[in-house]
Structure 1
Amino acid sequence: MKVEFPEKLAFLFEPARYKISYGGRGGAKSWGFGRALLIMGAQRPLRILCAREFQNSIAESAHALLAQQVDLLGLSAYYDTQEKRILGSNGTEFIFKGLRHNVASVKSTEGVDICWVEEARTVSKTSWDVLVPTIRKPGSEIWISFNPELAEDETYKRFVKNPPTGAKVVKIGWEDNPWFPDVLRQEALDLKARDPIAYETVWGGNCKQVLDGAIYSNEILAATRANRFTTVPYEPAQPVHVFFDLGRADKTAIWFVQLFGFEFRILAYYENRGFAWEHYLDKLKALKEERGYVYGEIWLPHDAQNELLASKRTIEQQTRDAGYRVRIVPKLSVAGGIDAARQVFGRCWFDEDLCADGLQALRNYRYEVDPATQQFSKNPLHDWASHGADAFRYFAVGIAEPRAPAEPVNGPNDVYARRRRERSSSTSGSGWAA
């Protein structure tokens, strides 16, 4: 078989456990990876997992790209392109999965010869920690392609700054693509003349210190300069306070914090989705057993006071019934909460390992772009980074709340009982199921 192929991606046909290609727009990374996999799959039977961090449907996967390449390579006689799989006549199989919050499905994927992680910039530490040991067949390979943005992104740190032993890492740009269209070439040159800093990231594939429109850009830079992303030990003498952002279809996010005078030590971060509240109570219990955490206050947003249809109990009550001291975060506008977060950021020390996914959310939390003006608006963008950032905002608002004397979990002065009486005529559902 004789086909056109970018010379700089020829390393894909050489054996290596890790094959990483990164760079700016127009380098033909996805095109080259897909073409190489189809060629290799036609030559011998392979089981190929095509993964992305977020994939809610097959339309968000590399399926369409591979189907197009099947036609362009003239391999329609070899491959049967089905709705959710692509099958080769020799037994080759392409399967497609999302990584984030799909742990059970990823772990159960056996016998993978090659895993291609496409658009890998936003893959979290948790996802990599699950995926890498899953691809364990002798001779198996992990292929990674992405456009970098932040040097502190987990994928960039793990595979470019500190690549695994024996990894093949290649930076590729539009100049390396012999089939790069003239119209895009002019776009790249125009941006280079107009905004050379933006060109370096968009087309040059070089990292920024912070994202454009990043809400906590100044705070992230200051914390980096002060080395406040580090190792933060747990001190048993102090309680661990826990701050939640709630979701089910969306993510539930949790920060674990200790207070030392005017200093906040951010010990850990956890997020997940698709689970009932018991899962998160079990997580608190597991961390108590694994790390010795002694809990202080559990801070919940206002929707934790909404009665659940399935149980007739609120998340607040379920948490109190589990033996925890619960406080509700005071109501404050999103803008006010962001200001509060900016105020406390300079007093925070983050465990860079145990908070890695939360820090990735804070670094990627940014403002929306106004479609009319193409300028950043005053509204935060709601995406995968929002939940960790919202939980951090609740931490900032809650931590500024004056401390009241501890109230009993149960009994005649039960806070929940009082609030339930106050709300008895106006309780609404929250979307959670017990």
Structure 2
Amino acid sequence: MTDIAIPESFEFLFEDAPYKVMYGGRGSAKSHSIARALLVQGAMERHRILSCREFQNSISESVHKLFADLIDEYDLHDFYEIQKTTIVGRNGTEFLFAGLRHNVSKIKSFEGCTRVWVEEAQAVSKGSWDVLIPTVMRTAKSEIWVSMNPDLDTDDSYKRFILNPPEGALVRKINWNDNPFFPEGLRREMLSLREKNYDEWLHIWEGNTRHTLEGAIYANEMRQATEEQRIARVAYDQSAPVFTAWDLGWSDMTSIWFWQKIGFDIRVVDFYQNRMEALDHYISVIQRKPYRYERHFLPHDANQGQLSAGGKTIAAQLRQRGIPLSVLPQLPIAAGISAARNLFPRVWFDEQACADGLDCLRRYRYDVDQQTGQFSRKPLHDDASHGADAFRMLAVAINDPKPREERKKPIRPAFIGSNAGWMGAL
């Protein structure tokens, strides 16, 4: 019998509970301990084990190698067979690996999993949790294991599992000082950061959340919206039309905000984003929603990009289907950010329907200049960019709710001679 060393702080993983939540800072051995516990449980009893994260484009981005290394370390090859994308046990236990975002159909195929380890859960969106949890939590044996180094206290995973954990959940904060194998090299690094930047040390090593990300572009605006309780339940008003604002992508996100203009207020009632989907997918999404649309606002590249369109531009495809739209002019990014900042005090967000979009706005930040190490004036291009870019489109569209060509022509005098008829041109 092979003894596999697991720190005492992870002993609760062998108790019965529907959710097991581990959070804290760097150096706590969360990933290694969870992987060891799953290897042990998979050997003791047949399990279908899914290891997943928000984004995984290939098996190399998963913890497949971590499991393989532990199988090598403890010489478990007589029991576990390491395959290219899976690991299987002699008793029928199976380890699977997947990304959550934009993979709904595949997630639904994991219904029979009895153990689901969601790693780096601080990055998992509300939309992904809303699909994963009801898919896998269908039997008494099903468990979801959550591991995270908390980031923002507004993150869905932090609120869902730490601030308001599900009934029966076992929640443990585990840090470097709970790790009996904590290496001396990491200890020196940890102590050095504590001396240089205590607040950063609290976040990285003690697992405390940040209130805002460094360099966050809309930090003040989001803080004000929170303090003024403009991130709340915002109901769709059936008497008013809905507008949308888009940012387009293929391998990157296509993001869409849905809003209504009620008096002076802008009520943002919904948000959607996805990637690697053709235009038909997004048309279907907006048509399934119960809204009465007036106009859809697209960025300038809608007259250029094709979004898997067989040669037709996105704007042309939408117009061909009778969908009312405006293509907004290209503005400097700084001008769009300024427009968004000016708009923020008027905006109310639906907290639930817009959760993933709000996450984009909180995480939208300036890039770091590689030469100076200081924040540049250029936003960082990452997964938060597209939702934030679509919000810039919303801010620009607010000032131009109808396309120029559909505005009524102004009435002006037309002076005519004595021989002309009564019908002058207006």
How far apart, in 2, do the equivalents of 1:406 and 1:286 lie?
29
Q: How does 1:153-164 map to 2 (within 5 A)?
A: 153-164=155-166
The structure with the larger Rg is 2
How far apart, in 1, do the equivalents of 2:348 and 2:254 lie?
22
Question: Larger deviation: 318-327 or 39-48?
Answer: 318-327
Alpha-carbon distance change, 396 to 7 in structure 1, aligned in 2, over 3 angstroms: same
Give 2:298's aligned residue.
Answer: 300
Alpha-carbon distance change, 372 to 126 in structure 1, aligned in 2, over 3 angstroms: same
Give 1:377 deviation, angstroms.
2.2
Aligned match of 1:227 in 220, 226, 229?
229
Counterpart residue identity of residue 66, structure 1: F
Counterpart residue identity of residue 175, structure 2: G
Give 1:403 deviation, angstroms.
4.7
Give 1:122 deviation, angstroms.
1.0
How far apart, in 1, do the equivalents of 2:401 and 2:109 lie?
48
Give 2:200's aligned residue.
Answer: 198
CA contact (8 A) 2:279 2:309 kept: no
Q: Secondary structure at the match of 1:346?
A: helix
- 1:316-349 residue CA offsets vs partner (Å, 9 max, x unmatched): 1222233332111221111221121111112111
Give 1:51 deviation, angstroms.
0.4
- 1:41-77 residue CA offsets vs partner (Å, 9 max, x unmatched): 1222211000010000111101111111112223222
How far apart, in 2, do the equivalents of 1:55 and 1:231 lie?
32
Q: How does 1:222-301 map to 2 (within 5 A)?
A: 222-287=224-289, 291=290, 293-301=291-299
Alpha-carbon distance change, 307 to 210 in structure 1, aligned in 2, over 3 angstroms: closer
Alpha-carbon distance change, 161 to 57 in structure 1, aligned in 2, over 3 angstroms: same
CA contact (8 A) 1:209 1:221 kept: no
Give 1:150's aligned residue.
Answer: 152
Alpha-carbon distance change, 402 to 155 in structure 1, aligned in 2, over 3 angstroms: closer
Give 2:16's aligned residue.
Answer: 15
Alpha-carbon distance change, 3 to 364 in structure 1, aligned in 2, over 3 angstroms: same
CA contact (8 A) 1:257 1:265 kept: yes
Give 1:184's aligned residue.
Answer: 186
Alpha-carbon distance change, 297 to 360 in structure 1, aligned in 2, over 3 angstroms: same
Give 1:381's aligned residue.
Answer: 380
Counterpart residue identity of residue 306, structure 1: Q
CA contact (8 A) 2:108 2:135 kept: yes
How far apart, in 2, do the equivalents of 1:165 and 1:120 lie?
19
Give 2:62's aligned residue.
Answer: 61
Counterpart residue identity of residue 177, structure 2: E
- 1:83-107 residue CA offsets vs partner (Å, 9 max, x unmatched): 1111112211111000000000110
Give 2:7's aligned residue.
Answer: 6
Q: Secondary structure at the match of 1:76?
A: coil
CA contact (8 A) 1:266 1:351 kept: yes
Q: Secondary structure at the match of 1:108?
A: helix
How far apart, in 1, do the equivalents of 2:180 and 2:118 lie?
24
How far apart, in 2, do the equivalents of 1:247 and 1:194 lie?
41
What is the identity percentage for the equivalent residue pairs of Structure 1 and Structure 2?
50
Aligned match of 2:175 in 153, 173, 193?
173
Q: Secondary structure at the match of 2:377?
A: strand
Give 1:411's aligned residue.
Answer: none
2:41 matches 1:37: no
Alpha-carbon distance change, 393 to 405 in structure 1, aligned in 2, over 3 angstroms: closer
CA contact (8 A) 2:71 2:80 kept: yes
CA contact (8 A) 1:330 1:398 kept: no
Give 1:370 deviation, angstroms.
2.7
Q: Report the TM-score, using the length of structure 1 for normalisation.
A: 0.89
Counterpart residue identity of residue 177, structure 1: N
Give 2:420's aligned residue.
Answer: none
Q: Secondary structure at the match of 2:91?
A: coil
Give 1:307 deviation, angstroms.
7.0
CA contact (8 A) 2:215 2:375 kept: yes
How far apart, in 2, do the equivalents of 1:299 and 1:247 lie?
15
Give 2:76's aligned residue.
Answer: 75
How far apart, in 1, do the equivalents of 2:262 and 2:154 lie?
27
CA-based RMSD of the aligned residues comes to: 1.7
Question: Larger deviation: 399-408 or 141-150?
Answer: 399-408
Give 1:88's aligned residue.
Answer: 89
How far apart, in 2, do the equivalents of 1:74 and 1:321 lie?
62
Give 1:137 deviation, angstroms.
3.3
CA contact (8 A) 2:4 2:36 kept: no
How far apart, in 2, do the equivalents of 1:156 and 1:402 lie?
37
Give 1:294 deviation, angstroms.
1.2
CA contact (8 A) 2:364 2:385 kept: yes
CA contact (8 A) 1:112 1:137 kept: no
Q: Report the TM-score, using the length of structure 2 for normalisation.
A: 0.91
CA contact (8 A) 1:49 1:115 kept: yes
Counterpart residue identity of residue 292, structure 2: V
Q: Secondary structure at the match of 1:197?
A: helix
Give 1:113's aligned residue.
Answer: 114
Counterpart residue identity of residue 344, structure 1: L
How far apart, in 2, do the equivalents of 1:313 and 1:372 lie?
42
Question: Larger deviation: 120-129 or 310-319?
Answer: 310-319
- 1:253-309 residue CA offsets vs partner (Å, 9 max, x unmatched): 10001112332111000011222111111111111xxx3x11121101111112748
How far apart, in 2, do the equivalents of 1:396 and 1:378 lie?
19
Counterpart residue identity of residue 264, structure 1: I
Counterpart residue identity of residue 296, structure 2: I
Counterpart residue identity of residue 64, structure 2: H
Give 1:215's aligned residue.
Answer: 217
Counterpart residue identity of residue 391, structure 1: A
Q: How does 1:354-369 map to 2 (within 5 A)?
A: 354-369=353-368
Give 1:412's aligned residue.
Answer: none
Q: Secondary structure at the match of 2:70?
A: helix
Alpha-carbon distance change, 371 to 392 in structure 1, aligned in 2, over 3 angstroms: same
Give 1:223 deviation, angstroms.
1.0
Question: Larger deviation: 110-119 or 373-382?
Answer: 373-382
Structure 1: runs of 5 or more not aligned: 409-434
